[in-house]
Chain A
Amino acid sequence: MSHTFKGGVHPNYMKAPEIPVTVITPPAQVVIPMTQHIGAPCQPLVKKGDVVTMGQKIGENPAPVSAPVHSPVSGKVVAVEPRPHPFGDNIMSVVIENDYQDTPCTDLAPLTEEQLKDPDAILERIREAGVVGMGGAMFPTAFKIRGGIGKVDKLIINGAECEPYLNGDHLTMLNFSEELLRGIELVRIASGVEKAYYGIEVNKQDAIDKLNSLHPEKYGIEIVPEAVKYPQGGEKMQVKAVTGREVKPGGLPSGVGANVVSTRTCYAIYQACYEGKPVIERIVSVAGSALKAPVNALTRVGTPLGYLAEQCGGFVKTPRKLVLGGPMMGICATDLAAPTIKGISGVLYFTEEEDKHVDNPTCIRCGKCIEVCPMNLEPVFLYMYYSKGDYANLEKYHVNDCFECGSCAYNCPARMPLTHAFKTAKLMLSAKAAADKAKEAK
Chain B
Amino acid sequence: MNEKNERIVFDVAFQPQVRTDRDTRSLMLDVIIALLPVLVVGVWQFGTHPLLVVACSIAACVFFEWGYRKLLHKEQSIGDLSAVVTGLLLGLSMPSTTPAWVPVVGAFFAIVVVKQLYGGIGKNFLNPALAGRAFLLSSYSILMSTWAVPKSLQGTVDGVTMATPLSYLYGDAAMPKYFSFQSLFLGNTPGSVGEVSTLILIAACIYLIVRKVISWRIPVSFVGTVFVLTLLFGRNGDHFDFALYNVLSGALLLVAVFMATDYSTSPVTIGGQLLYGFGCGAITVLIRYFGGFPEGTTYAVLIMNLCTWAIDKGFHRRQFGVSKEDIAKEKAQKMAAKEAAK
State the Cβ distance, A351 to closest chain B Cβ, in Å: 10
CB-CB under 8 A from A360, the residues of chain B are 75
Question: A350-372: which have CB < 8 Å to B?
Answer: 350, 354-357, 360, 362-367, 370
- A362 with B120: CB separation less than 8 A: yes
CB-CB under 8 A from B82, the residues of chain A are 364
Bound-state Cα–Cα, A251 to B12, Å: 30
Q: Name the prevailing secondary structure of the B interface residues.
A: loop
CB-CB under 8 A from A12, the residues of chain B are 18
CB-CB under 8 A from A24, the residues of chain B are none
Assign chain A's interface to a size class.
35 or more
Judged by a CB distance under 8 angstroms, whether B138 is at the interface is no
Judged by a CB distance under 8 angstroms, whether A320 is at the interface is yes
Q: Name the prevailing secondary structure of the A interface residues.
A: loop
Bound-state Cα–Cα, A403 to B162, Å: 61
Given contacts A414-B23, A414-B24, whether A419 and B321 have CB atoms under 8 Å apart is: no
State the Cβ distance, A397 to closest chain B Cβ, in Å: 7
Contact with B along A373-398 (1 / 0, CB 8 A): 01111101100000000000000011
Judged by a CB distance under 8 angstroms, whether B73 is at the interface is no
- B120 with A406: CB separation less than 8 A: no
CB-based A-B contact count at 8 angstroms: 158
State the Cβ distance, B22 to closest chain A Cβ, in Å: 5
CB-CB under 8 A from A354, the residues of chain B are 17-18
- B316 with A397: CB separation less than 8 A: yes
- A327 with B320: CB separation less than 8 A: no
- B19 with A356: CB separation less than 8 A: yes
Kindly specify which of A109-117, A178-186, A332-340 makes contact with the partner chain: A332-340
- A318 with B8: CB separation less than 8 A: yes
State the Cβ distance, B72 to closest chain A Cβ, in Å: 15
Judged by a CB distance under 8 angstroms, whether A192 is at the interface is no
Bound-state Cα–Cα, A364 to B122, Å: 4
Judged by a CB distance under 8 angstroms, whether A304 is at the interface is yes
Question: B1-37: which have CB < 8 Å to A?
Answer: 1-2, 5-6, 8-20, 22-24, 26-27
Bound-state Cα–Cα, A255 to B54, Å: 61
Bound-state Cα–Cα, A252 to B109, Å: 54
- B263 with A336: CB separation less than 8 A: no
- A246 with B24: CB separation less than 8 A: no
Judged by a CB distance under 8 angstroms, whether B318 is at the interface is yes
State the Cβ distance, B212 to closest chain A Cβ, in Å: 8
Judged by a CB distance under 8 angstroms, whether B154 is at the interface is no
Judged by a CB distance under 8 angstroms, whether B319 is at the interface is yes
- B269 with A366: CB separation less than 8 A: no
16 contacts between A and B (CB under 8 A): A246-B321, A246-B323, A320-B10, A328-B16, A330-B17, A332-B13, A356-B18, A362-B121, A374-B320, A397-B316, A409-B19, A411-B22, A413-B20, A414-B122, A417-B14, A419-B15
| Given A236-B320, A332-B10; 11 other pairs, CB 8 A cutoff | A11-B18, A248-B322, A249-B320, A323-B17, A327-B18, A337-B1, A366-B268, A378-B317, A411-B22, A414-B24, A415-B19
Interface on B for A, CB 8 Å cutoff?
Answer: 1-2, 5-6, 8-20, 22-24, 26-27, 75, 77, 82, 120-122, 263-264, 267-269, 312, 316-323
